Amino acid sequence: MNALTKNISIHVACLAVGTAAGFGLSSIAFPEWKRTAGMDSAESTVGISIPDEKKSRPANTIPNAGPDYLRKRAQWLAIASGDIAAVRRVLQSCRDYHEIERLLIQWAKLDPSAAFQFTASLGSHWDAVLTVWAESEPEAALLAFAQLHTRQGELFDNRALSQAADAALARIWASDPERALELLAQPGLSHLSLNLDFSLHGLAKNPDRAFALIDRLPRAAQSDAMADYGIAWVREDPEAAATWASDLTNYRARNRSLIDVFDNWKDLDAVGNFLERVPPGQDKSEVVRRYVERLVNEDTDRAFAWVDENLTGASRVDAFETLFENAARSDLEATARHVAALDPGGIRDRSIQSISRMWFDRDLDSARGWLESLPDDGARNRAFGELAEAWLEKDAEAAAQYAIDHPEIPENFLWQVAWHLPDTDPAKALDWAFKLPAERQLDMASLAIGQWAKHHPEAAGAFVSELPAGDYRERAIAAVHRQWVRRDQSSADSWRQKLGR
């Protein structure tokens, strides 16, 4: 037994379902006019077409009428009759949740108060009935909700029902905002979310009246209401709305209002000019970040120019990072040109890394060409190391050959190749190392041997043991021992002792 069936069985004596007799059709004493002419109102209310020849017959004399038709006809007649007892009997007969809700909605169109009272006995469908009721009598619907909420106590929590009550309150606000606030102060209603539409009643052009209304709200709702008003106000007088938001003393209200006002201010040039006058602070940083996101979507060059000309210190750093992150998604090459033009330092260096990673995924050749054009410094060298990682995953031979063909390539690139190649072919890695410029050969060969020993120390050790005496052999022995000792110190030390070391 589901919860709905259980509720109905507790509150009412249910009738049988499935046959016309089971619905007690003949026991409902409808006046004769409601059996015939009244059928027209039932048809228009419920929205179901009844054949003309059946409209003219009494309910219990329709030939060849099946149980399902008779059941629905009884429902239509009961709702059209306005007989509360008859409607209750029909509803008590239902077992389908959606059918009950459909009938309650139709009942609510004729007698919303009675329908809502009946839902209290069911413990469900409140929201559907209240929504219908609020369309014609929002205040009556809202007061009925308040009584129910007060009676049920603080533990009563029905989100759908509260949302229906919110909608009723919004209807009242649309016609009489003062009355809406009076109702909001009553028991059982103070918890509602009043979504204030300040575009109504000329409030967007009348801040004095709007703030007087906001002052009457519960304190917890005032910050959100002020932000909502800021959105309406900025459409009428953006300078005034922005000045007001900037001057708020409550941090939460100022932060929320500033964001909403500036996000809805359409003139980006005017926004930028105004932001120059806003004093530094955490709330300004957030507004600037959002403004830069909007600006870069319109014009990357303009966004870079604004940040470069108008911001300093931490705000400048934060804005550039936001700018690079967003601009790179839409115009990577333009962003890269702006990054390259920055003075060396934290912003430029971090941006080079970020843009390089993004570019490697899109077009490795173009990214490499951009890195080659940068000045030789730490940021460029680190980016070349990441280029090698990305390239080696796609085409290790091409990356290795590039290193051979470019003698001045940063060491970060070479290190990645020396670490990668031995995993698949140690001999090829060593052959590659000795094709590099002479001053780099031993360093890269030692790195390659060490990487080989990391996974196969015995094989690497056997190879090194056969090397002729000299600097290369000494460095290779050290590289193998350093890796082998991490896996098996005893074996590593024994191997080294056999070599006379």
Q: For position 26, what pLDDT does the model report?
A: 29
| Statement to judge: residues 63 and 107 lie in one domain | yes
In a domain, 113, yes or no: yes
| Statement to judge: residues 110 and 163 lie in one domain | no
In a domain, 434, yes or no: yes
Could you give the CA distance from residue 421 to residue 278 in angstroms, rounded to a whole number?
56
Where does the pLDDT of residue 44 fall: very low under 50, low under 70, confident under 90, or very high at 90 and above?
very low
| Statement to judge: residues 112 and 182 lie in one domain | no
Where does the pLDDT of residue 45 fall: very low under 50, low under 70, confident under 90, or very high at 90 and above?
very low
In tens, the pLDDT along 98-142 reads: 888 888 898 899 889 988 988 877 778 889 999 999 999 999 999
**Weakest mean pLDDT among 1-15, 186-200, 436-450:** 1-15
| Statement to judge: residues 39 and 117 lie in one domain | yes
Q: Which of 83, 100, 124 is the last residue of a domain?
A: 124
Among 421, 422, 499, CA closest to 467: 499
In a domain, 172, yes or no: yes
| Statement to judge: residues 113 and 162 lie in one domain | no
| Statement to judge: residues 10 and 119 lie in one domain | yes
Q: For position 7, what pLDDT does the model report?
A: 36
Among 333, 271, 341, 273, CA closest to 320: 341
| Statement to judge: residues 108 and 135 lie in one domain | no
pLDDT value at 24 more than 70: no
Where does the pLDDT of residue 405 fall: very low under 50, low under 70, confident under 90, or very high at 90 and above?
very high
- Stretch 433-458: mean pLDDT: 94
In a domain, 164, yes or no: yes
| Structure tokens belonging to residue 493 | 């030390």
In tens, the pLDDT along 297-315 reads: 888 888 888 888 888 877 7
In a domain, 313, yes or no: no
In tens, the pLDDT along 213-271 reads: 988 888 878 888 888 899 999 999 999 999 998 888 888 888 888 899 999 999 999 99
Structural domains of the chain, count = 3
Under DSSP, is residue 250 helix (H, G, I), strand (E, B) or coil?
A: coil
| Structure tokens belonging to residue 177 | 């905002």
| Statement to judge: residues 141 and 101 lie in one domain | no
Q: For position 159, what pLDDT does the model report?
A: 82
In a domain, 459, yes or no: yes
Over its C-alpha atoms, the chain yields an Rg (Å, rounded) of 39
- Residue 495, domain extent: 423-501
pLDDT value at 42 more than 50: no
| Statement to judge: residues 153 and 112 lie in one domain | no
Q: Which of 195, 218, 247 is the last residue of a domain?
A: 195
pLDDT value at 47 more than 50: no
Q: Which of 145, 169, 195 is the last residue of a domain?
A: 195
Residues 146-172 as b or e (16 or more Cβ within 10 Å = b): bebbeeeeeeeebeebbebbbbbbbbb
| pTM for the structure as a whole | 0.53
Q: What are phi and psi of 198, to 5 degrees?
A: -80, 0
In a domain, 234, yes or no: no
In tens, the pLDDT along 480-499 reads: 999 999 999 999 999 999 88
